[in-house]
Amino acid sequence: MSRIDSLQTFVSVVRARNFTSAADTLGVTPSAVSKQISGLEERLGVRLLNRTTRSVSPTEAGQMFYQHCENILESITEAEKLVTDFDVTPRGRLRITAMSNFGRRELARIFTDFAQQYPDISFDLHISDRPLDIVKEGYDFALRLGTLEDSRLIAKPVAEQKIVIVASREYIQRWGMPQRLEDLLEHRVLVVNNAEYARSNWLRQFEKDHGFSISSIERKLTVNDIDLVYEACMAGMGITALPTYIADRHLQNGELVQLFSQVDIPIRTIKVVFPQNRYLANKSRAFLDFITAYFEDEGVTEQN
């Protein structure tokens, strides 16, 4: 039995918390697993596991050893991928998580074009505005807005989220066209308050730049979902701010009217995020290169 095999056995036992379950995973007998662990402990001169009649758990030394074993085995796996993927057509499944509004409106089109170029790659897509630990949960990529605070991750800017203030043609006909920012005090406003959108809060930007209190504005709807605000705006319920990838089509056909175009709202960067220490398989490299090229006309510059 090689040292690598004994490390794999030890990791399997810690994960399963049981010799029998680990043996089933490894395709050997529980006695063989127990013998390997005892041999490993004897060779190292330290007890790695606390044993009871029903389960096992790592000692303090065992927990430290387990973490290093995981890193070693992961490095071996990545090295094997590096060799087996060399000069091979990209194939397999990519696990991706994306923020909801961008994912719903952009990714179907992106995936369709990508699939024409790489027919052997499929996607497992998770749409959510809830922050996820993509390393722990096994995602290849995440599409995110905002500042990256996890040192285990790399963020590559790929597109810009530009914001416009809009109202429906129906709303303007009923309530009139606001000419100045102060006119918002006489209008109905729809507000998105979820975490992904809050940093582009256009009302707070106005309050900061123009000195009137947002607490005086009638908020006809406050909700944590931008798609609901979009539908309410289209129905004539009030004024709101939307990303251009949602609003542009309706601005072009006249269903929406842009307001306060002279006001500068900060542009936010959409980033592709992926684990820093993970080897990029051919399928991952293909997707990263494709989505970067897809938005190259947006003029995104590198930033943290």
Q: Of 51-55, 118-122, 297-301, which gets the smallest average pLDDT?
A: 297-301
Type of residue found at 166: V
The rounded percent of the chain whose pLDDT value lies above 90 is 40
d(C-alpha 75, C-alpha 72), whole Å: 5
Lowest mean pLDDT across 109-113, 125-129, 183-187, 201-205: 201-205
Reported as a single tens digit per residue, the pLDDT across 134-193 is 888 888 999 987 666 667 888 888 888 888 999 999 999 999 999 888 788 889 999 887
Mean per-residue pLDDT, 204-220: 67
DSSP string, 205-251: HHHHHH---GGGSEEEEEES-HHHHHHHHHTTS-BEEEEHHHHHHHH
196-219 average pLDDT score:
64
Instruction: Please report, for the chain, the start and end positions of each structural domain, with discontinuous segments joined by +.
Output: 3-84, 92-156+272-298, 163-259
Q: Which has more pLDDT, 302 or 197?
A: 197
Q: For the residues 54-82, what does the mean pLDDT come to?
A: 87
Rounded CA gap, 74 and 94, in Å?
18
How many angstroms separate the Cα of 255 from the Cα of each of 96, 106, 168, 171, 219?
33, 21, 6, 10, 22
Worst-scoring range by mean pLDDT, 192-201, 235-244, 259-268?
A: 192-201
- Sheet bearing 153-161, strands edge to edge: 121-127, 92-98, 141-145, 268-275, 153-161
Rounded distance, CA 124 to CA 139, Å? 9
Q: Which CATH superfamily is domain 92-156+272-298 in?
A: Periplasmic binding protein-like II (3.40.190.10)
92-156+272-298 and 163-259 in the same fold? yes
Task: Provide mean pLDDT across the span 60-71.
Answer: 92
Instruction: Tell me the percentage of the chain whose pLDDT exceeds 70.
Output: 85
Let me know if domain 3-84 sits in CATH 2.60.40.10. Answer: no
Please state which CATH class domain 163-259 belongs to: alpha beta
Is 30 in contact with 23 (CB distance < 8 Å)?
A: yes
User: Higher confidence at residue 293 or residue 267?
Assistant: 293
- Give, for 196, the enclosing helix (H) or strand (E): helix 195-198
Model pLDDT, residue 303: 38
